């Protein structure tokens, strides 16, 4: 461990993508800010991810533009120049991909101190191999992020759960979904890779079950196919509302912050809800919570998963199913998920007494 730094200097934290991984940096940076209120902190990420950091004071941003001014090798050289011009003296690389390696290398040549994340790639390969899986809990990504920053001399601890602010439904959102009355549940059944997507027929059934129990069920997602499905559910069920394409990222966060619980896959929405302190019932297929990507502060009992010898087969859910049927997802019944939601909501009521 490096000697603890004074509350001075200018730290750049790099995490370019993906959405969920960027969201996982938020509780870490929030804890760092509480420990070092005078430290200058800049975030290098895509501009669209800025809303994640809205509750952390005094942050600056370097907007990563991979298709414009930061495109290609010379774009990364330009980016390094922007970093130097900003007076940054330390860099925490929480991504460790080719682009950040290039920036990190150039930065070191100019005297900027750097630290890079250990992603635990070897342990993850051992966890996902076909035979002889080593299925043990790995360090959470939030802890890997914190450890990387601590190596630069910034010593700080993190709470076991995110420290959130009370959230009310803003008027612009009320104009779309109305004021909050009764119990609101969210569902985000989609993901980037098939190994993390709950089958559509089962999602259809699950939404029906949730609609029978709760006053509102909000469907989150993106893309035209997902939007079409969600709007179909909205037409069929009075209490179901699709928010896909109707709200900005910040507005979706405001809505999620008012839910009693949300059902997600191993996806960005799980991490967004987690940083807002919302109970998440997460459904796991090809991936596994032990890989370190479980929602920050979420109870382990709220992970719904099938006990199959082939799981996990992937860290990201992008490998084709060896059986071809994705039974890791199709074997999870909608009623099991609905029961887990009911239990989680009931536990919240008990905690408030």
Quickly state the pLDDT bin for 5 (edges 50, 70, 90): low
Does the pLDDT value for residue 238 go beyond 60?
A: yes
Does the pLDDT value for residue 231 go beyond 70?
A: yes
CATH level 3 topology of 10-150? Rossmann fold (3.40.50)
What is the tens place of the pLDDT at every residue in 263-306?
Answer: 999 999 999 999 999 999 999 999 999 999 999 999 999 999 99
Does the pLDDT value for residue 350 go beyond 90?
A: no
The whole-angstrom separation of Cα 41 and Cα 289 is 30
Strand partners, 40: 10
What is the tens place of the pLDDT at every residue in 246-263?
Answer: 999 999 999 999 999 999
Quickly state the pLDDT bin for 162 (edges 50, 70, 90): confident
Does the pLDDT value for residue 145 go beyond 80?
A: yes
180-352: same fold as 10-150? yes
Q: When comparing pLDDT for 168 and 258, which is higher?
A: 258
What is the tens place of the pLDDT at every residue in 61-105?
Answer: 999 999 999 999 999 999 999 999 999 999 999 999 999 999 999
Any residues with CB less than 8 A from the CB of 183 and at least 6 apart, and which? 214, 215, 216, 260, 345
CATH level 3 topology of 180-352? Rossmann fold (3.40.50)
Q: Cβ distance 189 to 197 under 8 Å? A: yes
State the residue for tokens 């987690």.
Answer: 274
Average pLDDT score over residue span 328-350: 94
Domain residue ranges in the chain: 10-150, 180-352
Does the pLDDT value for residue 46 go beyond 80?
A: yes
Question: Mean of the per-residue pLDDT values for the chain?
Answer: 95
Quickly state the pLDDT bin for 188 (edges 50, 70, 90): very high
Q: Cβ distance 142 to 27 under 8 Å? A: yes
Average pLDDT score over residue span 109-130: 98
The whole-angstrom separation of Cα 97 and Cα 105 is 12
Task: Determine the pLDDT at residue 348.
Answer: 84
Quickly state the pLDDT bin for 2 (edges 50, 70, 90): low
Task: Determine the pLDDT at residue 351.
Answer: 64
DSSP designation for 137: P
% of the chain with per-residue pLDDT over 70: 97
Task: Determine the pLDDT at residue 212.
Answer: 98
Distances (CA, A) of 222 to 129, 194, 243, 253: 31, 15, 9, 14
Which range among 13-27, 32-46, 169-183 shows the weakest confidence by mean pLDDT? 169-183
The whole-angstrom separation of Cα 344 and Cα 57 is 32
């Amino acid at each position: 461990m490096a000697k603890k730094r004074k509350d001075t200097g200018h730290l750049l934290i790099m995490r370019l993508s993906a959405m969920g991984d960027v969201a996982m940096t938020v509780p870490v940076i929030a804890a760092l800010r509480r420990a070092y209120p005078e430290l200058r902190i800049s975030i290098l990420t895509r501009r669209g991810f800025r809303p994640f950091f809205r509750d952390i004071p005094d942050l600056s941003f370097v907007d990563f533009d991979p298709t414009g001014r930061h495109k290609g090798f010379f774009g990364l050289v330009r980016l390094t120049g922007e970093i130097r011009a900003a007076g940054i003296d330390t860099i925490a690389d929480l991504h460790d991909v080719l682009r950040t390696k290039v920036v990190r290398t150039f930065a070191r040549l100019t005297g900027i101190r750097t630290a890079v994340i250990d992603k635990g790639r070897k342990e993850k390969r051992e966890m996902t191999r076909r035979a002889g899986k080593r299925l043990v809990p790995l360090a959470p990504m939030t802890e890997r992020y914190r450890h990387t920053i601590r190596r630069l001399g910034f010593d700080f601890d993190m709470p076991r759960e995110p420290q959130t602010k009370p959230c009310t439904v803003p008027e612009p959102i009320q104009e779309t979904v109305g004021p909050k009355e009764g119990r609101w549940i969210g569902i985000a059944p989609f993901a980037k890779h098939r190994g993390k997507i709950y089958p559509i027929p089962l999602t259809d059934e699950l939404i029906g079950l949730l609609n029978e129990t709760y006053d509102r069920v909000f469907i989150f997602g993106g893309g035209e196919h997902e939007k079409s499905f969600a709007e179909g559910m909205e037409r069929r069920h009075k209490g179901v509302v699709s928010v896909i394409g109707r709200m900005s990222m910040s507005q979706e966060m405001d809505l999620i912050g008012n839910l009693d619980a949300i059902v997600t896959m191993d996806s960005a929405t799980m991490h967004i809800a987690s940083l807002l302190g919302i109970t998440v019932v997460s459904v796991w297929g090809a991936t596994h919570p032990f890989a370190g990507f479980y929602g920050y502060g979420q109870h382990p009992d709220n992970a719904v998963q099938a006990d199959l010898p082939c799981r996990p087969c992937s860290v990201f859910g992008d490998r084709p199913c060896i059986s071809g049927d994705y039974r890791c997802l199709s074997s999870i019944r909608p009623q099991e998920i609905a029961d887990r939601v009911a239990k989680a909501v009931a536990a919240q009521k008990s905690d408030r007494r």
